[in-house]
C-alpha cells in the first residue's frame, strides 16, 4: 500500500544535540509537510516543500530546518534541541494544492 513512513517512531536526544527525523512517501506526492504536535494540542505547521521549493511558516524557530533531497524523502533537522521541543513530529503529503493531506504515524521526540 502507498503510504507515508516516519523513522524512528521514538527518538531520544540530549539537550543541545542535533537530531534528524526522517519521512518517506510512496505516494509520489508533490507536497510534503512537517508539523509539530505538543501534548493535547492541535498540530502546528512548521514548513512545507512544494516540489523543491521550501516554504517556512513565519513563526517557525530558526532552530528547525528541513531538507528534501528527492520526491520521496524529507528530513527535519533540529540544530539545538531544547526541552520545549519535545513533541510528536508529524509528516504529511498531498498531491497538489487543496488536495487531502496524508499523515505518517509520527515520531515522538524526547529531549533529556
Partner 1 sequence: GNSVTQMEGPVTLSEEAFLTINCTYTATGYPSLFWYVQYPGEGLQLLLKATKADDKGSNKGFEATYRKETTSFHLEKGSVQVSDSAVYFCALSPSFSGGYNKLIFGAGTRLAVHP
If the CB atoms of residues 78 and 92 are measured against partner 1, the closer one turns out to be 92
Q: Would you say 17 or 52 has its CB closer to partner 1?
A: 52
> Which residue, 3, 55, 40, is CA-closest to 24?
3
Residue-wise DSSP of 45-56? EEEEEETTEEEE
Size of the site for partner 1 (CB under 8 A): 26
Side-chain-side CA neighbours of residue 79 (13 Å)? 7
- Minimum CB separation of residue 52 from partner 1 in Å reads 13
Q: What is the DSSP letter of 101?
A: P
**Please, what is the minimum distance in Å from the beta carbon of residue 63 to partner 1?**
22
56 binds partner 1 (CB under 8 A): no
- Write out the three cell numbers for 74: 524529507
Which residues of this chain interact with partner 1, rule CB under 8 A? 4, 6, 31, 40-43, 45, 48, 50, 55, 90, 92, 94, 96-106, 108
Amino acid at each position: 500500500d502507498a503510504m507515508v513512513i516516519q523513522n524512528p517512531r521514538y527518538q531520544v536526544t540530549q539537550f543541545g544535540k542535533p537530531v534528524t527525523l526522517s519521512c518517506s512517501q510512496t505516494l509520489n506526492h508533490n507536497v510534503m509537510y512537517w508539523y509539530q504536535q505538543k501534548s493535547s494540542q492541535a498540530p502546528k505547521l512548521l514548513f512545507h516543500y512544494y516540489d523543491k521549493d521550501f516554504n517556512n511558516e513565519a513563526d517557525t524557530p530558526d532552530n528547525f530546518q528541513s531538507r528534501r533531497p528527492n520526491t520521496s524523502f524529507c528530513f527535519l533537522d533540529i540544530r539545538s534541541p531544547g526541552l520545549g521541543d519535545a513533541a510528536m513530529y508529524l509528516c504529511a503529503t498531498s498531491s497538489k494544492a487543496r488536495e487531502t493531506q496524508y499523515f505518517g504515524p509520527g515520531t515522538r521526540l524526547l529531549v533529556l
